Amino acid sequence: MSELLEKFEKIGVRPADIMIPKKDIDLNKWAVVACDQYTSEKDYWESVSDYVGAAPSTLRVIFPECYLEDPDGDERIANINKTMKKYVEDGIFDTYKECFFLIKRTSTSGSRLGLMAALDLDKYSWEKDSKTLIRATEGTILSRIPPRKKIRRDAPLEIPHIMVLISDEKKSVIEPLYAKRDSLKKLYDTSLMKDGGHVEAYLVDSKEDLGAVYNAFEALYNAVDKDNPLLFAMGDGNHSFATAKSCWEDIKQTLTPEERKTHPVRFCLVELENIFDPGLVFEPIHRVLFGVPEKVFLEELEKTADKVSYEDEKDGVHCKNCIKKRNADQSVQGFGYCVKGSHVYVRLTNPKANIAAGTLQIVIDALLEKGYSVDYIHGDDVTDKLGQEEGNIGLFLPAIPKTTFFETIVKDGALPRKTFSMGEAQEKRFYMECRAIK
404 inside domain: no
Q: Are both 108 and 226 inside the same structural domain? A: yes
Pair 170, 234 in one domain:
yes
Angle, CA of 216, 217 and 221, to the nearest 5°: 125
Which residues, at least 6 apart from 231, have a Cβ–Cβ distance to it below 8 Å? 11, 12, 133, 134, 166, 217, 220, 221, 224
Residue 419 covered by a domain: no
Whether the Cβ atoms of residue 241 and residue 270 lie closer than 8 Å to each other: yes
List all residues 6 or more positions away from 72 whose beta carbon is below 8 Å from its beta carbon: none
240-299 pLDDT, tens digit each = 999 999 999 999 999 999 999 999 999 999 999 999 999 988 888 999 999 999 999 999
pLDDT at position 72 is: 92
**Is 416 within a domain?**
no
CA 411 vs CA 222, 323, 404: distances in Å: 19, 25, 10
Instruction: Output phi, psi for 354, to 5 deg.
Output: -75, -25
Q: What is the phi/psi pair of residue 181, to 5°? A: -60, -30
What does the radius of gyration of the chain's CA atoms come to, in whole angstroms?
Answer: 22
Residue 417 lies in a domain: no
Q: Are residues 268 and 290 in the same domain?
A: no
- Which domain range does residue 341 map to? 286-396
Residues forming beta bridges with residue 393, ordered by sequence position = 289
pTM of the model: 0.82
Q: Do the beta carbons of residue 101 and residue 203 sit within 8 Å? A: yes
Res. 129 pLDDT band, cuts 50 70 90 = confident
Instruction: Say whether both 149 and 261 belong to one domain.
Output: yes
CA 58, distance to chain mean position in Å, is 17
Residue 92 burial by Cβ neighbours in a 10 Å radius (0-12, 13-18, 19+): middle
* Residue 124 burial (C-beta neighbours within 10 Å; 0-12, 13-18, 19+): buried
* Pair 310, 234 in one domain: no
Query: Distance of CA 66 to CAs 46, 50, 105, 107, Å?
Result: 11, 17, 26, 24
The DSSP bridge partners found for residue 113 are 104
Q: In this structure, are 246 and 384 located in the same domain? A: no
pLDDT band at 142; cut points 50, 70, 90: confident
Among 160, 145, 57, CA closest to 437: 160
- The stretch 136-142 carries a mean pLDDT of 84
What integer is the mean pLDDT of 389-398?
96
Q: Rounded to the nearest 5 degrees, what angle is found at the Cα of 403, between the Cα atoms of 402 and 406?
A: 80
In sequence order, what are the residues at sequence separation of 6 or more whose Cβ sits closer than 8 angstroms to the Cβ of residue 257? none
pLDDT of residue 332: 79
pLDDT in tens, 71-83: 999 999 999 999 9
Mean pLDDT to the nearest integer, 224-232: 94
Q: What angle do CA 133, 20, 37 make, to 5 degrees?
A: 65
Question: Up-side HSE of residue 43: CA atoms within 13 Å toward CB?
Answer: 0
Q: How many CB atoms lie within 10 A of CB 268?
A: 30
Give 42-65 pLDDT, tens digit per residue.
999 999 999 999 999 999 999 999
Residue 29 has pLDDT above 90, yes or no: yes
Same-domain pairing of 261 and 391:
no
Return the closest-CA partner of residue 219 out of 168, 272, 165.
168
Q: Is residue 409, in this structure, part of any structural domain at all? A: no
Beta bridge partners of 165: 233, 273
Q: Helices 2-9 & 207-223, crossing angle to 10 degrees?
A: 20
What's the average model confidence in pLDDT over 431-438?
Answer: 96
Within a domain: residue 309? yes
Q: Are residues 339 and 355 in the same domain?
A: yes
Among residues of the chain, what percentage have pLDDT more than 70? Answer: 99
What is the reported pLDDT for 330?
65
Q: Does 62 share its domain with 188? A: yes
Rounded Cα distance, 41 and 33, in Å: 13
Give the angle 165-161-240 at the CA atoms, nearest 5°. 85
Q: Is 55 in the same domain as 180?
A: yes
Helices (H), 378-422: 380-387, 405-412
Q: Kindly state the average pLDDT of the residues 107-113.
A: 91
Q: What are the pLDDT digits (tens) for 303-359? A: 999 999 999 998 888 888 888 887 667 677 999 999 999 999 999 999 988 789 889
Beta bridge partner(s), residue 209: none
78 and 140 share a domain?
A: yes
Q: Nearest Cα to 104, choosing from 175, 173, 158?
A: 175
Whether residue 33 lies inside any domain: the answer is: yes
- Tell me the pLDDT of the chain averaged across its residues: 93
> 102: left (phi > 0), else alpha (psi -120 to 50), else beta?
beta
Q: Is residue 135 part of a domain?
A: yes
Identify which of 205, 208, 214, 157 has the alpha carbon closest to the alpha carbon of residue 184: 205
Q: Is residue 392 a contact partner of residue 288, using CB atoms and an 8 Å limit?
A: yes
Q: How many domains does the chain have?
A: 2
Q: Are residues 318 and 210 in the same domain?
A: no
